Chain A
Amino acid sequence: MDYAVRMEKITKSFSGVEVLHEVDFELEKGEIHALIGANGAGKSTLIKILSGALSKDSGKIFVYDQEVHFRSPADAKNLGIQTVYQELSLVSNFSIAHNIYLGREKTAYGFVKDDYILKTSKNIVKELSLDVDVRKKIRDVSIGVKIMTEICRCLVGDAKIVILDEPSTVMSLEELKNFKAFIQQLRQKGISIIYISHRLSEIFQLCDRVTILRDGYKVDTLKVAETNHESLVKLMIGKSMKEHLVKKTTPAEQFSEETIRLENVSNAALRDISFSVKRGEVIGITGLLGAGKTELARVLFGADRIQKGKIFVHGKEVKLGHPNEAKRYNIGYVPEDRKLHGLLRNLSIRHNIAVSNLKILKKASIFVDQRKERNFVRNQIESFNVKAVSMEKPINSLSGGNQQKAILAKWLGGDPEILLLDEPTRGIDVGAKEEIYKLIKEISKKGISILIFSSEIEEILALSDRIIVLSNGSISGISSDYDEEAILLKSTGGN
């Protein structure tokens, strides 16, 4: 067998704590190899060692059967190992072509040869059967195209081995399909790929083999065709996920009192959305990227305006012009992009959890009652099982899953009656996901109406009493017994 990379018995410790224990990893030539594991399993440490960003304590690395010793990321790059990180490094005001050649611009007499860059970029893109105009600016293209641009850039830099660090956490189903075709083309060119992802369904679509890490140990390497979703999860977390995938089944008659109702709600992104939600009901809202999920959530939270239609809360028509007003009607919103819209990153956990609840934590009308505040935050941290050393630490110091729990704690502190969750488990590991699912179920038992906006179909299926499928800004189906196929069909506009 030809190997692009072979890592043997890699061990690594940070200040006495072993994070990798004699891990073996083999990447075949032209293979797409998934690397999975819960947060803290050691994926990123292993990848950083392979890309030269960290040094190993012991073990051997072979690249094309030659033993190598990386002293810096540049060493790895020279051997054709390149990494595409989650936070893409593209210049949004430059064209795709100029991004592909960023840092490697062809020049003549000190001037950038735009023609050359444009022409060769066009060729690269065509060779990979990618259907985009390379003159388009990065800020105008979808996330999928951005990632593919990053990969093209690696190719210009003569990459033989490309490491994709969770590239797809924000890709839609359609983009995934294009991406799959793109990756197949890369394979044709003999490029080997290491693919790190939390979304297992993608691994089954894209990858040949999968290596599972847990707590710094390699658990196994399997052919994707010879395993399934269930057993991968079991290997990752060491136990079965079956429990939370059991569909919630509350008989419909148990929901009586209506909390929120929409009638023909429309704006630039939405068309004639009508539905109603009952107390304690969990509604799953799904659809492809651009179908209007986030737009609908933002309208319900007063972050965007509606142009037509009506929204009723407890039977009374309301105007939601600002998040503040939505809050007054006891609507809580956990935004999709945790970093961009959810967190006050540099501020303390206390500040973050308290900030939307200060109205109930004040004294003498303008002052914060700091004792009440601390008690409140402590309470929330405990009941949402946020693992934090101290509430005074910056929220940034928490792991993704705990950040998300802290945001839930913040929004449930004000006792909302209606809770909007936009992609509640995006980018967090399986263990934390499980906890958040449990929390969601507990919350709904308290009589809170929950609307989950998610593109993860398994999640929607596991949690929802009713499912609404959006397509092109309007509802293409509402039902309480959709399965995965039905949802896919409805979201792509089928019948």
Chain B
Amino acid sequence: MVLKDSLNKVSNITVKDVRRFLKKQSLVIGFLIICISLALLTDRFLTLGNILNVIRQVSISGLLSLGLTFVILSGGIDLSVASVMAFAGCMAAEAQKTSLFAGIAFPILIGAIFGLLNGLMVNKIKAQPFIMTLGLGTTVRGLTYVYTNGEAIYSMTPVFRVIGGGRIADTIPVPAVIFVVIILISFVILNKTLIGRYIYAVGDNVEAARLSGIKVEKINIFVYLVSGILAGIAAVVLTSRLNAAEPIAGIGWELDAVAAVIIGGTSLRGGKGGVWGTVLGLLIIGVVSNGLNLLNVSTYYQSFVKGLIILFAVIADKIREYERD
């Protein structure tokens, strides 16, 4: 009798709850399926070296995605991140000549200033963030070309090169460590702090948030500031890793960064999603392109596959939304 009851319970669970669980965790499941297939297809995939390699590869664009997660959750968008990163990268290359500290602090400051500018413009002019940040991004990219005359800046000091190229205990890449630390900080801010709650509230319904006593302007400044600062940090890591600051660095990365956020289930309308989604989105993109490399698939196919993943993610999200209603 007892056995029958518990069997019943189990079968009850299998019917509804498993389906709900699968739907809710479809991203994780998708990721695991990709990983398992790749592990079966190639024996190089599931090695510590390769996994760390994947994390290192996504870490730089991942910083941009994390910044964008803040902005998108609040209902905005920041298309200037990649250009700000390129400009800040050049500034990093110049500043690191004087000291390591300057090489890190100055580009981050530059990123913060542009982030602040974005936030202020969105607040004061009340224009669409899409076109506003696109405008600023294009301007900054132009500024970078003018400053460098279109040429890369070389020769980083050995100590500066550790940031992008070094490994802790000869195994863990420094960029991966930076990335993980920023992930954790972002998670804590978005989930544990007042400002995190306010970001979600503003993203869900600006007017309701304002009437709840939330200073929407402050939240806007905050999210664009975070995005700018993370673009600055990405600039430091990228310049150090490439041992050069290129004015064409990261062209198109802003859209890749947005794609990772969206694949992770964060809604472009704001208020829905979070850091883990973005991390998963990044890992899916990273693992797939890593897998294609390991399988010797031509790079031409990679963009094609990435596009399919984005389309698939959007369709899956819509289906979930439809079924909920």
Interface string of B195-224 (1 = CB under 8 A from A): 111101100110111111111000000000
A327-B213, A344-B201 are contacts. A366–B194 as well, Cβ < 8 Å? yes
The reply on A346 being an interface residue by CB < 8 A is yes
In the complex, what residues of B have CB within 8 A of residue A356's CB? 212-214
Q: Are B214 and A324 in contact (CB under 8 A)?
A: yes
Q: Are A346 and B215 in contact (CB under 8 A)?
A: no
Which one of B200, B201, B211 lies within 8 Å of A333 (CB-CB)?
Answer: B211
- What CA separation (Å) do A355 and B197 show in the bound complex? 7
Q: Are A340 and B207 in contact (CB under 8 A)?
A: yes
In the complex, what residues of B have CB within 8 A of residue A344's CB? 200-201, 204-205, 208-209, 271
Q: Are B211 and A351 in contact (CB under 8 A)?
A: no
Measured CB to CB, the closest approach of chain A to B225, in angstroms, equals: 15
The reply on B298 being an interface residue by CB < 8 A is no
What residue in chain B is nearest A340 (Cβ atoms)?
B207
Q: Are A323 and B193 in contact (CB under 8 A)?
A: no
The reply on B306 being an interface residue by CB < 8 A is no
What residue in chain A is nearest B191 (Cβ atoms)?
A368
Chain A, interface size category, equals 20 to 34
In the complex, what residues of A have CB within 8 A of residue B208's CB? 335, 340-344
A347-B204, A362-B194, A367-B193 are contacts. A324–B213 as well, Cβ < 8 Å? yes
A355-B198, A356-B213 are contacts. A367–B207 as well, Cβ < 8 Å? no
What residue in chain B is nearest A356 (Cβ atoms)?
B212
In the complex, what residues of A have CB within 8 A of residue B214's CB? 324, 355-356
- What CA separation (Å) do A323 and B214 show in the bound complex? 8
What count of chain B residues pass the 8 Å CB interface test?
A: 22
Q: Are B205 and A323 in contact (CB under 8 A)?
A: no
Q: Are A345 and B197 in contact (CB under 8 A)?
A: no
What residue in chain B is nearest A394 (Cβ atoms)?
B324
Interface string of A345-365 (1 = CB under 8 A from B): 111000100111011001000
Q: Are B272 and A346 in contact (CB under 8 A)?
A: yes
- What CA separation (Å) do A308 and B193 show in the bound complex? 39
In the complex, what residues of B have CB within 8 A of residue A410's CB? 212
The reply on B4 being an interface residue by CB < 8 A is no
The reply on A104 being an interface residue by CB < 8 A is no
The reply on A303 being an interface residue by CB < 8 A is yes
In the complex, what residues of B have CB within 8 A of residue A370's CB? 192
In the complex, what residues of A have CB within 8 A of residue B204's CB? 344-347
A343-B205, A346-B204, A346-B272 are contacts. A358–B197 as well, Cβ < 8 Å? yes
Give the interface of B toward A (CB within 8 A): 192-198, 200-201, 204-205, 207-215, 271-272
Sorted nearest first, the 5 A-B pairs with minimum C-beta distance are A327-B213, A344-B204, A356-B212, A324-B213, A358-B194
